């Protein structure tokens, strides 16, 4: 069964600190992995997308890594800001299913002053 | 544990017909999101509701409408269906704790696969 597990479920950090969110998946055959940022009640915003051959990708203060061998990904946030408070969702798609995306439950991040 | 329920799971309609998709959030969740995912595409955010009020609107066509009812379930109504509406429609729910901007865990339903012939 294709699954995407994220940890931690929630995280509170002080403004200016760094943090790392984890995503483990069992989706196979792997196609790509995406990280989204989503505020409550809002639509998701795509941060990064990585295919099998990519093992790191940055978007400003966000850096995602992918280890396709261990089926793990991480999202590192540098110098956090209050506006980083949001839910971060890991989504993995399989190569042989044109439709299905497998969603993680997300990590809820709260950045405090 | 109870999950997000969507019905029907599969739906086949003809062009110009109407369709209604239903979403039952996890008990006590107050926020519902709707997404549309076409073949090989990213899910597109359509619309969201918090406490029965629309909280955000994305790329939802004018032919579509949605609402959240007093029991927090939501319905997506689609009229004058077009071939391009064939997609997987996801619903997600969350419990809003920190208010808008705080970020809460979303739980996605299994989706409704709509095919328009």
> Averaged over B45-72, what is the pLDDT?
90
Q: Which residue of B has its CA nearest to A96?
A: B40
Quote the minimal CA–CA distance from B7 to chain A in Å: 17
Cβ neighbours around A108 below 10 Å, total:
24
Residues 6 or more apart in contact with residue A2 via CB below 8 angstroms: A25, A26, A27, A28, A92, A94, A100, A102
Residues of A in contact with B31 (CB under 8 A): 40-41
How many distinct helices (H) and strands (E) make up chain A? 0, 11
Q: Do B88 and A99 touch (CB under 8 A)?
A: yes
Q: Which residue of A has its CA nearest to B111?
A: A100
Q: What is the pLDDT of residues A4-62, one digit of tens each?
A: 899 999 999 999 999 999 999 998 888 889 899 987 767 678 899 888 888 999 999 99
**Residue A80 touches partner B, C-beta closer than 8 Å:** no
> Averaged over B88-100, what is the pLDDT?
75
> Averaged over B8-37, what is the pLDDT?
93
Say if residue B20's pLDDT is above 70: yes
With beta carbons less than 8 A apart as the criterion, state whether B19 and B117 touch.
no
Q: What is the pLDDT of residues A66-113, one digit of tens each?
A: 999 999 999 999 999 999 999 899 988 777 654 456 788 889 999 999
The predicted structure's pLDDT at residue B2: 75
Which residue from A9, A40, A100 is facing B102, i.e. has the nearest CB? A40
Count of CB pairs separated by less than 8 Å, A with B: 84
Copy the structure tokens of residue A92: 């993995």
How far, in Å, CA of B90 to CA of A103, rounded?
A: 11
The predicted structure's pLDDT at residue A45: 81
Residues of A in contact with B37 (CB under 8 A): 99, 101
Residue of higher predicted confidence among B41 and B61: B61
With beta carbons less than 8 A apart as the criterion, state whether A5 and A101 touch.
no
The predicted structure's pLDDT at residue B72: 94
How far, in Å, CA of B13 to CA of A103, rounded?
A: 27
In degrees, rounded to 5, the angle at the alpha carbon of residue B37 between the alpha carbons of residues B33 and B40 is 155
Which residue from A9, A40, A83 is facing B99, i.e. has the nearest CB? A40
Q: Which residue of A has its CA nearest to B87?
A: A99
């Amino acid at each position: 069964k294709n699954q995407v597990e994220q940890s931690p479920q929630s995280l509170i950090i002080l403004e200016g600190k760094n943090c790392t969110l984890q995503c483990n998946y069992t989706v196979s055959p792997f196609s790509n992995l995406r990280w989204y940022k989503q505020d409550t009640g809002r639509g998701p915003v795509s941060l990064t997308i990585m295919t099998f051959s990519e093992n790191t990708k940055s978007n400003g203060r966000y850096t995602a890594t992918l280890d396709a061998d261990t089926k793990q990904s991480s999202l590192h946030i540098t110098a956090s800001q209050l506006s980083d408070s949001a839910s971060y969702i890991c989504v993995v798609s399989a190569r042989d299913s044109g439709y299905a995306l497998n969603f993680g439950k997300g990590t809820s991040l709260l950045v405090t002053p | 544990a109870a999950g997000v329920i969507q019905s029907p799971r599969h739906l086949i309609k003809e062009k110009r017909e109407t369709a209604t998709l239903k979403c039952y959030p996890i008990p006590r969740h107050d926020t519902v999101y709707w997404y549309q995912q076409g073949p090989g595409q990213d899910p597109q955010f359509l619309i969201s509701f918090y406490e029965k009020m629309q909280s955000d609107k994305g790329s939802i066509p004018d032919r579509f409408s949605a609402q959240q009812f007093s029991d927090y379930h939501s319905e997506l109504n689609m009229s004058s269906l077009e071939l391009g509406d064939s997609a997987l429609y996801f619903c997600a729910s969350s419990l809003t704790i920190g208010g808008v901007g705080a970020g809460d865990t979303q739980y996605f339903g299994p989706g409704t696969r709509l095919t328009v012939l």
